[in-house]
Amino acid sequence: MTANSILLDGNSLSRQQLVAVARQGYGVRLDPEQLKRVQRAADFLADKVSCGEPTYGVTTGFGSNADKLLGAYRLRDELPGGNPHKPEGTLLEELQHNLITTHAVCVGKPFSADVVRAMLVIRINTLMRGHSGIRVATLEALTAMLNHDVIPVVPEKGSVGASGDLAPLSHLAIVLLGGGEAFYKGERLPGAEALKRAGLQPIRLSFKEGLALNNGTAQMLATAVLALDTIEYLLDVADLAASMTLDAFAGRSGALRAEVHALRPHPGQVSVAERVRELLNGSTLVDIPYHLVPRFRQWSVDAWHTTEDQALSFDISWEWVPANQRHGREAFYNRFLPFKGGKKHQPQDAYCLRCMPQVHGAVRDAWAQACRVIDIELNAVTDNPLIFPDNTDATHIEEQVISAGHFHGMPLALAMSYVKAAIPVLASISERRLNKLVDPATSDGLPAFLTGNEDGTDSGFMIVQYTAAALVNDLATRAHPASVYSVPTSANAEDHVSMGANEARHVLEMTEDLSHVLALELYTAAQALDYRQEMLNAARRLAARGNWQALASKVANAPREDSAHYAQFVEEVKQLTAALADVGDFHAGKAVRTAHDALRGHISFMHRDRAMDGDVRTVCELVQKRTFTIN
């Protein structure tokens, strides 16, 4: 890779390089040495045609027409009145021309420019292998179209994933012939006009070139690569969102420990646990002693007495556990003070937090498996028939021009169906964490729906969870694998197809909703984290003033002074005061704080109900713009 272009040799294209061309505007260059192999295959094919050798897709029809040998001249020219639509060129050239023009029949909205640019790169790279019979001049014309940013209009729907992506690749190739439509400098134009404005000329196809251009897996591979690139980022966002949520819960880190995951070392699981430990590094919230964490209590006019504290929009509280209620729990209360606040007295968190490495990790493993398949496909030859000009021991042409099935998209289809099933899983566990934050029954002392609501007028983050739930349901209903349902084509000559184009397109489309769910979790977790930190720090400031009576006033069930338990209560509330006074500032992990600050640079803490549509739009845009990339 150079500063602005990628060298294509048919053997070394990476996902990162493809994304650079598709999404960052890089151009491509063709390896001169590899072009010699391209020309050798084209010359070999031309020689065989001149010798009269019958060759599929060159001197025969396609698909169910493969039993039809092309004649020396057009029979239709003998029809009464002649043939007023007689095309230019030979019958063999007409075969290739017609293949492209009749196969460009996709429907739906056009693919975005990044998908089409990726398709072009993939097609050029596979043709560079020198097993397709395309001429160097034709390959250079395809390259010029990409480098001049002539973007063919390729409607999204029409490929069954075998024989490759015939219909969408025909839309890609038809512009080379001066047909179809293309975008040029943002304007949708007839193909010939787009080429003209770019200073390019249409071409005429030679032997097998139509088949070389439209017989392959470029659409499903392009959408798969771009989807996997987005998912790679969203996997990191999911880990970050979960870390922020865990900090907001003042959760437990034991389930993240390295020795735990060494006992079940699935690669993704081990990686996620390690990454979350790094994201939480420096946190003073995780593993906090139970007794230090106060519970939210609604603000009242007499809640606070200092000027600093009177600016707070909440109150805090604990409950004291009398001695006669500690029977059988003496060991616990020897370690922790007998106060119940915001943290339940249990050593494990809910599954959405505790099992997060297992769930996120399994999704990472699905992504990694798809990447392994895609990395092979990026440098594979996927058209048909395959040409082996160097097979000099061949005794007949079928040993040098071999019909095979590399166009069949099932390897990609099944890999992407795995990812497709994983996407709702990642979205679902994110939504469960979001729901846990807003539900007072599960939020460990945070306010209901993350708002004070002392006047009973505020909904807070209630409906944010509704939106996340709707997105999760939508993702789940779209997760059915397309690859399990083959519909035969070409009069049953192509009787088993992969539907891989639909599979990969679905995954690419689903990444947007996944990003929205994760954005909503970040949005909600930031609000919860602010509450958790401010409540803890308010308690710490109260204790730091050395006035145990002020802290005692925050104990909802404090005994009366004439109670038999009062002396013990006083002693233990003084211990709580000292424990809070001795700790430093309460804050999240360093990486979590960085992400929180980035979000707060665009969206402020919500003290009272306000219009949230702008907030939601902003946080979704921040995720999509990859604001939360943390190295």
Active site residue 56: yes
Rg (CA), the chain: 33
Residues 434, 456, 551: CA angle, nearest 5 degrees: 80
Going by C-alpha positions, the residue among 591, 601, 427 that lies closest to residue 507 is: 427
- Contact criterion met (CB below 8 Å) for 240 and 592: yes
Helix 15-24 / helix 356-377 crossing angle, nearest 10 deg: 90
Pair of tokens at residue 486: 């083959």
Q: Which residues of 529-546 are buried (b: 16+ CB within 10 A; e: fewer)?
A: bbbbbbbbbbbbebbeee
Instruction: Tell me how far the alpha carbon of residue 215 is from its chain's centroid.
Output: 28
- Contact criterion met (CB below 8 Å) for 4 and 27: yes
Residues 6+ apart with CB under 8 A from 458: 449, 451, 452, 608, 609
- Alpha carbon distance 104, 84 (integer Å): 23
Verify cis geometry, omega within 30 degrees of 0, for the bond prior to 163. Answer: yes
- Contact criterion met (CB below 8 Å) for 374 and 380: no
Q: Which of 56, 73, 290, 351 is catalytic?
A: 56
Q: Are strands 339-340 and 319-320 parallel, antiparallel or unpaired?
A: antiparallel
* Strands, E assignment, 223-328: 295-297, 315-317, 319-320
- Contact criterion met (CB below 8 Å) for 597 and 500: no
Helix/strand/coil for 459:
coil
Residues 202, 207, 212: CA angle, nearest 5 degrees: 75
Residues 566, 571, 574: CA angle, nearest 5 degrees: 120
Helix 462-477 / helix 500-544 crossing angle, nearest 10 deg: 160
Ramachandran assignment for 589, one of left (phi > 0), alpha (psi -120 to 50 degrees), beta (any other): beta
Going by C-alpha positions, the residue among 260, 475, 464, 467 that lies closest to residue 355 is: 260
The residues carrying an active-site annotation are 56
